[in-house]
Structure 1
Amino acid sequence: MDLLRSNHGSRCIRRPQAEHVPGTALLTDVIEADHHHHHGNLDTSALQHDKGRNSDVVLVPQPSKSPNDPLNWPLWKKDLILFLICIDTAVVGAWGPMISPGYALMAKEFNMSYNALNGGLGLVSATIADLYFVHQRGVRLAAWGLCLSVGVGGGAIISGYIIQDVGWNWTYGVCAIIFGVWIPVLFFLCPETAYRRDALLNTDLGTADKAAELIGDTKNAPTEEFVERVESFEVEKRHSYVHQLKVFNGRVCDDPFWKVLTRPLMMLIFPQVLFSFFAYGLTTSWLIVVGSVLAQIFTAPPYNFSVSGVGLVSIAALIGAIVGAFISGPIADYITKAMSRRNNGVYEPEFRLVLVLITLIIGGMSFFGFGWSLQVHDPWIGPVIFYGLQYFGVGFMTIAVYGYLTDCHRDKAPEAFAAINLRNIYSFGMNYFISSWISTQGPKEVFEIIGGIHVFICLTAIPMYIFGKRCRSWTSRVEIFQKVMRA
């Protein structure tokens, strides 16, 4: 932990640093025999904590007294909302890849090359931040990532039979039917999760140590003004079910609409967002690119798969995604709590980036192995296993980056995630030449380059881990970044 403490300890930062850095938060404290909590000389008993084995975990952010605060909703309600949204995510994820097993048929029907066909076809995490506390988000982000991967992999499995039996057009028809059923489900069972709570409760935001302000210190009690602000929430009545169905429930942000629309592009100047854009964007884009060439690879000799056979290749992706999600989520939350306890109870968003190590090793191996096995015409089980490992490894990157960005910019999470999803431009562009690139240079060289880029992208997490807190401090003090946040 010497590296950790040298990174996050102010004594090692020679330039002026904000007194409290956005994203940094008190996450764990010490429980005395008389059940009192403290952190150093600060009595933290007044802060709300988790229960059971996590009773030393401080809730970040602190929930308000209001029954309408999503943080106060029962856990079953939160998980139900997340489940329903994740199902919708799976369908959205399946929409594009469902057509890929039919590329061979479509290329023949429209007399087009694979390359031309690829070129023409190429905010849930914010909800998780609204509903769950910092130490609960890893598992939920993994669940969301799992559903996205299940949609991508599972959709291709099903669509292979749809395309083979009733035609490629019906892949879109099936998605339309599912959306037709699911839209009313979301409307009636998923209320708005955005909520405006008192800014003092957001202990992970801003440049003030709000945990200390909330409880004072051992000598100073909370101010009378703050007590009045907190108690004012107690008179708020619980919203009725009909009220929750309203399309408009008031503004949760005072910014003009046009500024909200342009903020995602402006947020790319933040080091944390720019890193996430490249790390998540480029890494996950490879999955889309690889999925788009499966038909080209496996319908040709020596494999000679049928359309449905190409779809079945995605079973490997499905297994990799499921296993990865069940492992990455609990690991993410365990690392968050364990490293915070070792860091004197203080949580830093950079702790999330430790997961990238798994993506570096497994992901790099999977891309190199996929290309090599195809080049030497290994039996189909070889490249299929490597294809599954791609989903297993990249799933850890998804959890790491989305968790990191959520914790760094929770108040601007929708705009931050919109910014990194501009990576679709990259995957769209790659689809224009990936097929001809493989045909010209062979899969070994192509996937060696892809694997090399993947390894390089993963290695950028090291400087981000070391200098991440300094970047957050810097962006909280420099005026241009504050103008973007207020823009």
Structure 2
Amino acid sequence: MSFSGDIEKGSHDHIENIEDSSQVELDLSPEHEAYLIERHGTAFLDPLPSSDPKDPLNWPIWKKNAEILIVAFHTFTTAFMASGLIPAFQTVAVKLDVPLANASYLTSVQIMVVGAMPFFWLPIMNAYGRNGIAAISCLVCCALNIGSAFSESYAGSMALRAVIAAFFSTGYAAGSSIVADLSFAHERGKKNGWWSVALVTGTTAGPFVCGFIEQHAGTRWIYFTFSFMCFALFILWTIADETVYVRHHETPQPGNWFNSKVLRISRNPDQQLSFSLFMRPFSLITNFNVMMSILTLSIVFCYANIVLVVELPQAMGVLFQLDPQHLSYQFIALIIGSAIGEFLAGPLSDWWMKKSVARRGGVRVISDRLWVSYNGFICVVVGLVVWGVYLDRAVPGHWIITPLIGGAIAACGNNIVMTVLTTFAIESAPGRATEAGLLITLFRQTYAFIGPFYFPYMFDTLGFSGSAGLMCGLVAVFGAGPVIICHVLGSRKQGS
């Protein structure tokens, strides 16, 4: 046993604690049970690993975390590239001779494509390995971003942004799969939180960093930065081990893509491509908990993240007459709020579930996790009210920090809801975590794509205060409402 393995075995956090486990019989061979006890400290694990050290569930903790961090960085970069042009909208609009609102569609198109394309990539990645395809997609996007830097037409720029999003959506396709393949049930909230916070912080870190680039180097270097990030991910995916693992099969498992022949993709013998496989995630539409979670996530993500990020140049940039660098400073508040939200989401929900299981005498009820989400809804509503009211009260040209405090509170709430509800949806579809993640991404990104088309008209008609009130109402009715229904039905089912 390696030193890192000894550390993992001795880690209390790695042990899956199940009440009254001594009275549970496991259908395992003595050798299998002995291996799990030596490797993990217990044989009572959910899901149950094989006795093969190559099984991703049996990897050392550092290796699992590194793999999840790679896909989290891929997710972060996807959101970073989608929102990174925001500080350059004014420059892009002038250069391409289009209205400012049309420049924002360069971000909207990526939001939409990223939501749809994972349905295409997921079956292919599960059949031929995730790492190789992700690495190739990153290399393609590296080249396309360089091409974007030299594009001189609006149509060409739009087409390149769409194609980049199509290839780079491999990270969204693999995210929930990799987390599910590398984590046990008791740590899933925290590990899903890494992936969720990467998505949320990517949307704010993009304009924050690129504002400085736009101010001091120009728009072309924003695209070059995207290209550098894609190339870094290409390197990371080539040296990472494959997480697609076929249990109980004699065919050799997919290995390290870097050590195989160039562009050689491993074949998963248990995954046969067919049209029904691409459509299979839609069967989860009949799963009430999953669909209610999707409705909530779509509403909250749109009004506690997208509206704050995409409309910030029009809301605060124009109101306070900010240049690209000063505009980028405004996103610090959203980054801080998202980071705080993660501390109040994944680790807290996992801790709460452990307490709930102990309180129920060892019975795990997935709806107990929803208690944590209510903190998020409160933060979203309070944050949006503060943001909207103080923007309406602001004097043009005189910057105030109060709207940013409201934005930070809303961002904190968004991250709490995102992490908790994503984990709840995955737990509501046992064995179908990847498909649940795909469906969430499709509906969430589609709704977010629609937002920028009506946000400017909403603000012009209702003002910031009225718009905040409308968004709070939507979050309360269509965000918190479905969660309350799921919570009540879940509690009644357990009590019956």
Please name the residue that 2:18 is paired with: 28
Please name the residue that 1:177 is paired with: 228
- Give 1:348 shift: 2.6
C-alpha offsets along residues 11-41 of structure 1, whole Å, 9 cap, x if unaligned?
A: xxxxxxxxxxxxxxx96213xxxxxx434xx
1:334 aligns with 2:351: yes
Q: 2:267 aligns with which of 239, 250, 265?
A: 250
C-alpha offsets along residues 141-160 of structure 1, whole Å, 9 cap, x if unaligned?
A: 22222222332222211111
- Give 1:323 shift: 1.9
- Give 1:276 shift: 2.1
Question: What is the SS of the residue equivalent to 1:347?
Answer: coil
Amino acid at match of 2:485: P
Residue 192 of structure 2 contacts residue 419 of structure 2 at CA under 8 Å; is this kept in 1?
yes
Number of positions where the alignment pairs a residue of Structure 1 with one of Structure 2: 401
- Give 1:71 shift: 0.7
1:93 aligns with 2:79: yes
Q: 1:401 aligns with which of 413, 421, 430?
A: 421
1:466 aligns with 2:488: yes
Q: How does 1:300-379 map to 2 (within 5 A)?
A: 300-301=318-319, 303-377=320-394
Query: Where is the helix percentage greater, Structure 1 or Structure 2?
Result: 2
Residues 242 and 453 of structure 1, relative CA distance in 2, 3 Å threshold: closer
Residue 104 of structure 1 contacts residue 295 of structure 1 at CA under 8 Å; is this kept in 2?
no
Please name the residue that 2:189 is paired with: 138
Percent sequence identity is 21
Residues 245 and 470 of structure 1, relative CA distance in 2, 3 Å threshold: farther
- Give 1:471 shift: 8.9
Q: How does 1:47-446 map to 2 (within 5 A)?
A: 58-122=44-108, 123-189=174-240, 191-197=241-247, 241=256, 245=260, 247-251=264-268, 253-254=270-271, 256-286=273-303, 287-301=305-319, 303-377=320-394, 380-422=400-442, 423-446=444-467
Question: What is the SS of the residue equivalent to 2:453?
Answer: coil
Residues 471 and 164 of structure 1, relative CA distance in 2, 3 Å threshold: farther
Residues 74 and 259 of structure 1, relative CA distance in 2, 3 Å threshold: same
- Give 1:469 shift: 7.9
Stretch of structure 1 that moved more, 244-253 or 179-188: 244-253
Amino acid at match of 1:28: I
Give the Cα separation in 2 of the matches to 1:243 and 1:447: 50
Runs of 4+ in 1 over 6 A off after TM superposition: 44-52, 54-57, 235-240, 469-472
With the length of structure 2 as denominator, give the TM-score of the two structures: 0.73
Amino acid at match of 2:188: R
C-alpha offsets along residues 41-98 of structure 1, whole Å, 9 cap, x if unaligned?
A: x45797799999x978941111111122111111111011112222222211111111
Residues 50 and 147 of structure 1, relative CA distance in 2, 3 Å threshold: farther
Residues 93 and 107 of structure 1, relative CA distance in 2, 3 Å threshold: same
Give the Cα separation in 2 of the matches to 1:193 and 1:114: 43
Question: What is the SS of the residue equivalent to 2:432?
Answer: helix
Question: What is the SS of the residue equivalent to 1:299?
Answer: helix
Give the Cα separation in 1 of the matches to 2:299 and 2:270: 31
Give the Cα separation in 2 of the matches to 1:143 and 1:240: 25
Give the Cα separation in 2 of the matches to 1:414 and 1:245: 26
- Give 1:396 shift: 0.9
Of structures 1 and 2, the one with the larger relative CO (CA 8 A, separation 6+) is 1
Residue 36 of structure 2 contacts residue 51 of structure 2 at CA under 8 Å; is this kept in 1?
no
Please name the residue that 1:9 is paired with: none
Amino acid at match of 2:82: G
Residues 243 and 183 of structure 1, relative CA distance in 2, 3 Å threshold: closer
Give the Cα separation in 1 of the matches to 2:402 and 2:434: 40
Q: List runs of 5+ in structure 1 lacking aligned partners.
A: 1-25, 31-36, 199-232, 473-487
Question: What is the SS of the residue equivalent to 2:18?
Answer: coil
- Give 1:251 shift: 2.4
Residue 356 of structure 1 contacts residue 396 of structure 1 at CA under 8 Å; is this kept in 2?
yes
The two structures, once aligned, show a CA RMSD in angstroms of: 3.1
Residues 388 and 243 of structure 1, relative CA distance in 2, 3 Å threshold: closer
With the length of structure 1 as denominator, give the TM-score of the two structures: 0.74
Give the Cα separation in 1 of the matches to 2:268 and 2:255: 18
Residues 254 and 149 of structure 1, relative CA distance in 2, 3 Å threshold: closer
**Structure exhibiting the larger radius of gyration computed from Cα positions:** 1
Give the Cα separation in 2 of the matches to 1:428 and 1:160: 22
Question: What is the SS of the residue equivalent to 1:250?
Answer: coil
- Give 1:196 shift: 3.5
